[in-house]
Structure formats: C-alpha cells, structure tokens
Amino acid sequence: MSEHHITPLKTYLVIAGALFCLTAITVWVSYFDFGSLNIIIAMGVATFKATLVALFFMHLLWDDKKNLTMFIMSLMFLGIFITITLLDTGFRGGVNPEVEYPINKRAAFYDSLPLTDTHGNPVDEHGTDSHEGDEDHH
Amino acid sequence: MSHDNSSPDFLQHHFHDVDQQYETAKLGMWAFILTEVLTFGGLFVAYVVYRSWYPEMFVGANLLLDVNKGLLNTIVLITSSLTMVLAVWAIQQKKQKLSLFMLIATFLFAFMFLGIKYLEYSHKFEVGQLPGEYYSYMGPEIAHLNNPHIFFSIYFIMTGLHGLHVAIGMGLIAWLIYATAKGNLHSKYYTPMEMIGIFWHLVDLIWIYLFPLFYLI
C-alpha cells in the first residue's frame, strides 16, 4: 500500500497565517473607496483565500487530479449559471425599456412602516427632540 | 502492528484494496462538494442579480451589519479549519491524543461561530432587520433606500444555510471525537476524518465569500 501524502506541519501554519493576513488586508482596504474596483478587490482576495484553502487544506494539490477537475467543473457550471442569468436580467431593457426594472418599485408595505430610530423603535418626528433634551440633564 | 493489508478489518468486501476504498470515498466526497457548490451557487446568483438591480441599496444596507462580528467569525472559522487539518495531520502521525485535542478545539470554534451568529441574528430580530414582509426597520441611515428587505432576505437565507452547515458539521465532528477516542480511527484508517475535514473546509470556503459580500462591499 502506498502511503498517503503527509503535509509538513509548517505548510499548514504558513497557509493559515496567509489566510489571516489576507483577511486583515481585505477588511483594511474596505475602508477606502475605489469605486467599482471595491467588488473586484474583495472578490480577488476572497478567491485567492479560497484557492489556498482548496489546494492545501482540502489537499487538492496532492490528490489525484480527478478531484480537482470535479471541483473546477462545479465552479465552471456556477459561472455559466451566473452569466446566462445576467444575460437575461441585465439586458431586459434593451428589448423593452418598460420591463427593465420590473420589481424596482418600492414594495407597498413600506408605505405603512413608521420611521424608526437605530434601535428599531418607531419615532414620531416631534417627540425625538424633547427626549434627547431630557438625557442632557443627567 | 501488522502490515498485512490483504484484509484489514476496515476494508469492505466490495473493494479491491485499501487504496481503492480510500480513493473511492474521496471521489464520492468531491461529487458531494460539487452539489454543495451548486446549491450555494443558486443563492450566489440571487445575490448577483439583486445586487445588479439595486446597487445603492446593497451598499447602504451592508453598513447595518457589524463588521467586527463578521471579522471575528472569519478568524474563528479559519482557526477551526486549521485545527481540523491538524487533527488529520496528527492522526496520520499516530498522535491520537493530539488529534482528539484538535477535534475538540474544532468543535468549540464551531460552537463559538454559532454563538456569535446568534448574537447577530438576535440583534436583527430586535430592530426589525428581517427578511421579506417581516422587515420593519426604518432607521435614519436606511429610510431613503429602496427595498432593503431584499438584502436581508438574501442575507438570512445565505448565512442561515451556511449556519445549518456549521451545525451539521458540529454533529459530524462530535461523532469523529467519539470514534477517535474509542480508537476506531487510527493512522491506517482515518478516511471519515479526512472526508469530514473536506466538508468543514468547504464551510470555511463559503464563508470566505459570504464575509466580503455581506459585510465589506
């Protein structure tokens, strides 16, 4: 019987360290606004982290390549799923502008929702000021 | 220790040898991971489509999530992935006790993840940041946004299904703790531990995407 590959302990610790660093980086850059690049940077870092997890923690790097093939196939089908769906939902307006955002109208139940404070309690616009005034005396 | 591999007690009769049994289990596990990717895939498609329809609302609504709790959960889950992989590493080297310790650590980190998730969920229930028609939060920072209840529908379904996977993973790890303590898993046969490890890393891998999608961008 051929022995299974045993990864050195150091490899696992280095990969975990890299995952922590990349997490810190992705949180740190989220405080800057790069416009539309925000999504690309965040997804790029996430994909790099996911690759490390799949190759090293899930042992795909040392496995029979049929397992890696299957995993990549699932991601390819996910890509097809997203692309084909967006080809519909993203270009409806090209056929008929009226159906471009068929559900973009505000849902009706918002009309009956009262405004709330940050704790979710309803506020009536005149009452808030006096309440805040009370707290100042403490 | 006997090196006679012709018929060890863990080799099932329908397999040719131990290697074939191991590779077959692994192929089956990856087939399962494929279905898991596609299960979550449907929800990722929902996220992408609704984000493309409501870009401003998504950017506004994600500010209502607590980045610190999300970051803490990311650290907890990556650490649990490390302890899981070290449990497999330890049992490969015949370090049963270390393996057991790492499994228990993984279980506790998973429990911690769900605990933090519970704090997040209970806060959202309190303030009314709920899916669909149960949504009632109209705080000053979000009252102008269009249909934030859709963000919270997707948030609860995706993190909820992920949380369910964590809970199932905890059950599987608890069984691994039992099997390892009893001596049923050892350096010659640890297939269930490696397979559950792959499942657990998938749970980590999905969270690696959920964290930036909901908390950061």
CA distance A74 to chain B (A): 5
Q: What is the residue whose two structure tokens read 């529908």?
A: B153
Q: Which residues of B touch A125 (CB under 8 A)?
A: none
Per-residue pLDDT tens digits for B171-187: 999 999 999 999 999 99
Name the residue type at position B69: K
Per-residue pLDDT tens digits for A16-71: 999 999 999 999 999 998 888 889 999 999 999 999 999 999 999 998 899 999 99
Written as tens digits, the pLDDT of chain B (217 aa) is 444 445 788 888 888 888 888 889 999 999 999 999 999 999 999 999 999 888 889 999 989 999 999 999 999 999 999 999 999 999 999 999 999 999 999 999 999 999 999 999 999 999 989 998 898 888 888 888 888 999 999 999 999 999 999 999 999 999 999 999 999 999 999 999 999 999 999 999 999 999 999 999 8
CA distance B182 to chain A (A): 23
- Rounded to an integer, what distance in angstroms lies between the CA atom of residue B92 and that of residue B99? 9
Of A6, A19, A63, nearest to B92 by CB-CB distance is A6
pLDDT band, very low/low/confident/very high, at A129 (cuts 50, 70, 90): very low
- Is residue B216 classed exposed, middle or buried when 0-12, 13-18 and 19+ CB atoms within 10 A define those classes? buried
Dihedral, CA atoms, B112, B115, B117, B123, nearest 10 degrees? -150
- Rounded to an integer, what distance in angstroms lies between the CA atom of residue A16 and that of residue A54? 12
Query: Quick one: pLDDT at residue A101?
Result: 60
Query: Quick one: pLDDT at residue B2?
Result: 45
Q: Is A61 on the interface with B (CB under 8 A)?
A: no
Query: Quick one: pLDDT at residue A27?
Result: 94
Q: Is the sign of the CA dihedral B12, B17, B19, B24 positive or negative?
A: negative
Query: Quick one: pLDDT at residue A104?
Result: 64
Query: Quick one: pLDDT at residue A138?
Result: 39
Mutate to test the interface with B, among A110, A111, A117, A129 (most CBs of B within 10 A): A110
**Hey, what are B211's tokens?**
């964290």
pLDDT band, very low/low/confident/very high, at A4 (cuts 50, 70, 90): confident
Q: Is A76 on the interface with B (CB under 8 A)?
A: no
> Is there a contact between B78 and A27 if contact means CB atoms under 8 Å apart?
no
Percent of chain A with pLDDT strictly greater than 70: 83
Q: Which residues of A touch B79 (CB under 8 A)?
A: 16
Q: Which residues of B touch A13 (CB under 8 A)?
A: 82
Q: What is the residue whose two structure tokens read 């000021």?
A: A129
The three-state secondary structure class of A116 is strand
Q: Which residues of B touch A58 (CB under 8 A)?
A: 197-198, 201-202
Q: What is the residue whose two structure tokens read 């806060």?
A: B123
B67-92 vs B148-182: helix crossing angle, rounded to 10: 20
CA distance B99 to chain A (A): 13
Q: Which CATH superfamily is domain B18-216 in?
A: Cytochrome c oxidase, subunit III, four-helix bundle (1.20.120.80)
Q: What ipTM score was computed for the predicted complex, to two decimals? A: 0.89
Of A19, A64, A74, nearest to B78 by CB-CB distance is A19
Q: Which residues of A touch B75 (CB under 8 A)?
A: 20, 23
